[in-house]
């Protein structure tokens, strides 16, 4: 009996170390591949946040997105955190940041050097400043450039649920 308990503890500790050591799989995509996320016409609410690890306001608002993701994750809801970090920063900053902060929302790394070629395709009012958030359901769209509050995000999503 004692041996069985000790064996179980060793296995659990080993498993915990194994899972904690695994890095998050963060896909790097170009805008052409990313654009498939922008126009889904179904009953799902999509929340797409553009951010970077070097952007202080972006980092400040990430907990808001994580809270909202937990609230709506079992509904017709998808959250996508789109990192605009430089390509050279993916392994040195982005992946360690996502792991350290245990981000649960889906994170992708968008690498498209000519931002001017795609920014207006997100929203014509977007200057390219981050953070920026696009929320849509079918043809209903809402966009904000700048930091977003919990209440703004929550209320906007609830409006789209109606």
Global pTM value:
0.84
| pLDDT over 60 at 4, yes or no | no
Residue 140 pairs with which residues in a beta bridge? 137
* pLDDT score recorded for residue 24: 66
* pLDDT score recorded for residue 159: 92
Binning pLDDT at 50, 70 and 90, where does residue 11 land?
very low
Please tell me the distance from the alpha carbon of residue 131 to that of residue 63, in angstroms, as a whole number.
13
What does the DSSP 8-state code read for residue 133?
E
| pLDDT over 60 at 104, yes or no | yes
CATH number for the region 24-161 comes to 3.40.30.10
For the record, the structure tokens of 7 come out as 């064996």
| pLDDT over 70 at 5, yes or no | no
DSSP 3-state assignment of 118? coil
Rounded mean pLDDT of 88-95?
Answer: 95
- Write the pLDDT tens digit of every residue in 29-63: 999 999 999 988 899 999 999 999 999 999 999 99
Q: From the centroid of its chain, how far is CA 21? A: 21
């Amino acid at each position: 009996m004692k041996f069985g308990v000790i064996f179980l503890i060793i296995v659990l500790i080993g498993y915990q170390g194994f899972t904690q050591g695994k890095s998050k799989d963060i896909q790097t995509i170009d805008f052409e591949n990313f654009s498939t996320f922008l126009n889904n016409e179904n009953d799902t609410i999509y929340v797409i946040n553009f951010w970077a690890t070097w952007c202080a306001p972006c980092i400040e608002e990430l907990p808001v997105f994580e809270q909202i993701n937990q609230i709506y994750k079992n509904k017709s809801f998808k959250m996508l955190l789109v990192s605009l970090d430089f390509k050279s920063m993916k392994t040195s900053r982005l992946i360690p940041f996502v792991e350290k902060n245990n981000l649960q929302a889906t994170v992708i790394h968008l690498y498209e050097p000519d931002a001017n070629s795609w920014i207006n395709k997100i929203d014509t009012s977007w200057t390219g400043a981050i953070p920026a958030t696009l929320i849509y359901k079918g043809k209903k769209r809402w966009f904000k450039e700048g930091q977003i509050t919990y209440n703004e995000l929550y209320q906007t999503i609830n409006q789209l649920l109606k």
